[in-house]
Chains A and B, each alone.
Chain A
Amino acid sequence: MGDFWSGLGQAAWLVLTFDSDLLAIAARSLQVSLTALLIASLLAMPLAAFLAVRRFRWRRNVIALMNALMGLPPVVVGLIVYILLSRSGPFGILGLLFTPSAMIIAQVIIIVPLIASIAHQSLRDLWQEYHDLLISMNVTQGQKIRTLLWDARRALLTAALAGFGRAIGEVGAIMIVGGNIDHATRVLTTAIALETGKGDFALALALGFVLIAITITVNFAVHWISRTESEGRW
């Protein structure tokens, strides 16, 4: 328990003194995860809407695969991205390995299926509600997708926040492709892993508390901005 209280105290101290290393690491964590979230949402949400409104032969299999990929092991994703981005890999020429960009790519791959699956659930329910109306209005496929995405935006926020939670708490993949390089690719989770390895549990816990605080703050901020619980709004 000593480490716990010591960690809590150290976390408070680091935050109150605006520790420059902590701020840099936390900012990098946010930068990587929010960028990954933005890219993943732009890919996953239209895909989820398309799967909700469009009937095609392998649709069920695609949905099943998407759901299965929610449990994609991050370490394996990291390994595959590492191989693809390494010097001898097909994208080695881009020089992205051990950069925040590589970490973003790995996180996008990890969270796209998660966001798409959760979003698909909401959009499928909304599509059942809207189906007859939109068919009777003879709207185009693109208009159906845009309508669903707009009208389900608050439910989609939940999907996005789940993706953010997974991304910012991820360590396996970004450790492999980012390399946990100080002042370059070190983020909160990889820093926690490093400090734990070094036996500095108090500092590791302090970073952990900061990570939890950031996650909660972002969630609160998003809910507050979008007024999800306001009466009569969706």
Chain B
Amino acid sequence: MVNSLFPLTVRDAVSKRGGVPLIGPIQLDLKGAGITVVMGPNGSGKTTLLRLLHGAARLNHGSIRWACDQEQARDAQTFVFQRPIMLRRSILDNLIYPLRTRGVSKAKAQEQAEHWAERLGLGGFLSRQAPSLSGGEQQKLALARALITDPELVFLDEPCASLDARTMKAIERILIDTRANGTQIIMSTHDMGQARRLADEVVFLLNGKVHEHTPAHDFFASPQTPEANAFLNGDIVE
């Protein structure tokens, strides 16, 4: 897949809520390395950064520039939230929804939805109401719904938080396949093991600022800042 979104350039980006800065100023250059993992302690601004890049949080200052125009960039990316949001519809209708809103015919949308449901192990109960699924199934469905439109970039906010190891493994498998198909992934995670398994590059955030942005191997082998080093050692970082 040819990726038209990167490089992504973030300059002096600041996001505030009620006048209080949540993150920033952020300087970041992403070239589309495959899987970019955003790490940092609680409250460091991981979710806000993802939302800001996606255009779901207000940018109060600075700029975020994609390689293509803003509207094209929005159409080419999707977001999977930490707490999956389910449409009050069946599994099948949840999967069909993003395709139908993009003008895909009903027959083709249904065919693709069935393919994705099968791939994620949800094929046996397509008519079940999505909100009645377990947390892991909902997260898998949310991921399938995000990937079904074949996006160039997927944002994932803690996609495996509070999921069991088996579901986590299934989701990681999908993410690896997705990367292999050329889709870029920017995800946040708390899970050091998951970051080591998946990351191609790491953005380490602390107090709303980027402390490190390096290839994953370098980050885990020899972090550049004492804060990142402390974080990797499991110490409390402030």
Question: Which residues of A come within 8 Å of B, CB atoms?
Answer: 126, 129-130, 132-133, 135-140, 143, 147, 151-152, 232-234
Contact = CB atoms under 8 A, between A and B. Distances in A.
A143 B56 contact: no
A3 B88 CA distance: 50
Interface residues of B, number: 17
B87 A233 contact: no
B89 to A, nearest CB: 7
Interface in B82-132: 85, 87-89, 97-98, 101, 128-129, 132
A232 B129 contact: yes
B101 A133 contact: no
Nearest to B75: A138
At the interface, is chain A mostly helix, strand, loop or mixed? helix
Contacts of B132: 232
Nearest to B79: A136
B132 to A, nearest CB: 5
A125 to B, nearest CB: 12
A20 B129 CA distance: 47
Contacts of B78: 136-137
A140 B54 CA distance: 17
A143 B101 contact: yes
Please provide the 6 A-B residue pairs with the shortest distance between their CB atoms, ordered closest to farther: A136-B79, A133-B85, A234-B88, A151-B88, A232-B129, A138-B74
A234 B129 CA distance: 9
B81 interface: yes
B129 A147 contact: no
Given A135-B56, A137-B98, A138-B74, A151 B89 contact: yes
Contact of A132 (B85, B98, B101, B129): B85
Contacts, number: 38
Nearest to A137: B98
12 contacts: A126-B88, A129-B85, A132-B56, A132-B81, A133-B81, A136-B56, A136-B79, A137-B98, A138-B75, A140-B101, A151-B88, A234-B88
Contacts of A152: 88
A132 B128 CA distance: 23
A130 B145 CA distance: 14
Q: Which of A126, A133, A151, A152 has the most CB of B within 10 A?
A: A133
Contacts of A129: 85
B87 A130 contact: yes
Nearest to B87: A151
Given A132-B56, A137-B98, A143-B101, 9 more contacts: A132-B79, A132-B85, A135-B56, A136-B79, A136-B81, A137-B78, A137-B101, A151-B89, A152-B88
A119 to B, nearest CB: 16
B101 A233 contact: no
B217 to A, nearest CB: 31
Contacts of A233: 129
Contacts of A138: 74-75
B126 to A, nearest CB: 14
A154 B95 CA distance: 22
A234 B75 CA distance: 30
Nearest to A151: B88
Contacts of B79: 132, 136
A147 B86 CA distance: 12
A232 B101 CA distance: 25
Contacts of A140: 101
Nearest to B89: A151
A76 B79 CA distance: 52
A139 B87 CA distance: 14
B8 to A, nearest CB: 17
A132 B79 CA distance: 9
Contacts of A139: 101
A232 B128 CA distance: 8
Contacts of A151: 87-89
A135 B129 CA distance: 22
Nearest to B84: A133
B36 to A, nearest CB: 18
Contacts of A147: 87, 97
